[in-house]
Structures are given as structure tokens and as C-alpha cells.
Amino acid sequence: MTGHPPSPAPVRLRELRWTDFDDLREAYYLLYEERDSGYPIGIGLFGHRPSLADEAQWFQGLFARVQNGATIASVAEVGGHAVGSCMVNRVGPSEDSEAAHMGELGIMVHRDWRGRGVGSALLEDALARSRGKFEIVRLAVFVNNPRARALYERFGFVPYGRLPKALRRNGEFVDEDLLYLDFGTAPANR
């Protein structure tokens, strides 16, 4: 996908498939290039890009969590390729744990597809699928990412705190704002 202009094909939302590995790994690996070029990406990364084997192991675990109901995974597909994903992971270790009512949200959109509504579509789909499974969904957003924070607030997320020095990137600290969405008080539609 890299190096090719994005297709004008419509975005289709669906559940995670085993065959999404290569597309999602590519989008993730591109985040390392963005970070290294100084672009303020919105997710924390490892010091060095993980190996293909590490990514395969991570994806296998993700796929298993989706299959056993511990994770909701929405995928945005364009022209047969996954261009983004939104995951909501159960916070508790099991369905009967005291924190199982809570999910933690993470989202990633391929750099060629940002600013085109893919993130909004993914978020809307993942939250719709989270209703009834979770009572609260929480997330963290870097303070240097006001665009993402505005998107989350548009969907009803409210701030509940800030974690100072949550990330050290290129020798500088970045704070994280903590937000949550309570399905008991939030409207069903944004």
C-alpha cells in the first residue's frame, strides 16, 4: 500500500480477520518512521520497531482475544486492504473479574487515510459494538494531539485526569489526558 495513492473506494467497516495481519503491521511499522521524523504521532511505541515474529505473536494474541470475546476489534477496509483498526480490550482479566465492565480503547489509522473520516467511522463502529458488553470505555490521549481529543469528546468522552510525563519521546516528556465514556449516561449516537 505504501507509495501508492489511496483509492477513492468507500470505507467498509467489519470485524478483524486473520488476513488483516500484513496491512495492520504495515500501518503500525509506518508509525516508527513518523516518530523518527519528528511527527507527533498519537500512540506510544517501543524504542525499536518490533520484529516480524514479535508482531505475529502480538496479532495471534489479539485474534484470540477477539475470538474469546475479551476484545472488540473494528477494522476499516478500503479496496480489500485494512487501513485502520479500533480495539476495545476488556480491562479485567476475565469476564467475572470486578473490572470486566470496563474496556480500554486504542485506535490506529494508516497515515495515508488520516483526515478522511476513517477514525470517526472506526470509533463509531467500535463504540456501537461495545454497548451492552462494557459499561465504561476509557482511553488516554497525548496532550499534543488535540485533533484526536476533539474527536473523542465529540463521541461523548469526558476527561477525568492527566498523567504527567506519560511518555518520553526524543528526550522530551509528553503528558496524557485520560478520558472515559459511560454508556449509562452517554447518548447512543454522537
Write down the domain spans for the chain: 12-182
Q: How confident is the model at residue 8 (pLDDT cuts 50, 70, 90)?
A: low
**Residue 4: is its pLDDT beyond 70?**
no
12-182 maps to CATH 3.30.300.180: no
Counting residues of the chain whose pLDDT is more than 70, the rounded percentage is 93
**pLDDT of res. 190:** 54
pLDDT digits (tens, 9 = 90+) for 116-175: 999 999 999 999 999 999 999 999 999 988 889 999 999 999 999 999 999 998 888 999
pTM score, two decimals? 0.88
Q: How confident is the model at residue 3 (pLDDT cuts 50, 70, 90)?
A: low
Q: What are phi and psi of 95, to 5 degrees?
A: -60, -25
* Better-scored residue on pLDDT, 87 or 34: 87
pLDDT digits (tens, 9 = 90+) for 62-95: 999 999 999 999 999 999 999 999 999 999 888 8
| Residues contacting 32, CB < 8 A, separation 6+ | 45, 49
